[in-house]
């Protein structure tokens, strides 16, 4: 990965990383959609995740992340979960 990783979160079989520029990447088992790719496919390598906020803030950067066994949460720079 060519991005500087500033935070890592992991679930039962997936990983989420936050980079210094506010980008978010995930990989691992996607059986329950926990990778945030809008699919339920597994990913062997990190894939970028876009903000899914519906209020026109798709350009906002993530500033924090956490994971559970089958889910993830990302905090956007506008302080919305």
- Weakest mean pLDDT among 33-37, 53-57, 74-78: 53-57
Write down the pLDDT at residue 1.
67
Write down the pLDDT at residue 5.
95
Nearest 5°: phi and psi at 31? -50, -35
pLDDT, mean over the chain: 86
Q: At which residue do the structure tokens 């997936």 appear?
A: 14
Per-residue pLDDT averaged across 2-26, rounded?
Answer: 93
Q: How distant is the alpha carbon of residue 33 from its chain centre? A: 11
**Number of neighbouring beta carbons within 10 Å of residue 31:** 14
């Amino acid at each position: 990965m060519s991005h500087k990783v500033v935070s890592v979160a992991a679930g039962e079989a997936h990983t989420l990383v936050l980079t210094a520029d506010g980008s978010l990447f995930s990989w691992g088992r996607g059986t329950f959609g926990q990778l945030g790719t809008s699919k339920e496919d597994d990913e062997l390598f990190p894939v970028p995740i876009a903000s899914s906020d519906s209020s026109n803030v798709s350009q906002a950067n993530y500033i924090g992340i956490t994971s559970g066994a089958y889910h993830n949460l990302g905090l956007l720079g506008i302080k919305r979960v």
